[in-house]
Amino acid sequence: MGTGLEWFQVLKVSVFWGFGMFLWEAIAGRESFASLLNLASLALGSLLFGMFMIFEWRVIHGGLAVVSAIAILGLLFLGLIERRARRQTVV
pLDDT in tens, 5-15: 999 999 999 99
The C-alpha atoms of residue 45 and residue 73 are separated, in whole angstroms, by 11
Residues of the domain holding 9: 4-90
pTM of the model: 0.82
Dihedral of CA atoms 58, 54, 2, 67 in degrees, nearest 10, equals -70
The C-alpha atoms of residue 62 and residue 90 are separated, in whole angstroms, by 43
Count of domains observed in the chain: 1
pLDDT in tens, 12-42: 999 999 999 888 888 887 776 667 888 888 8
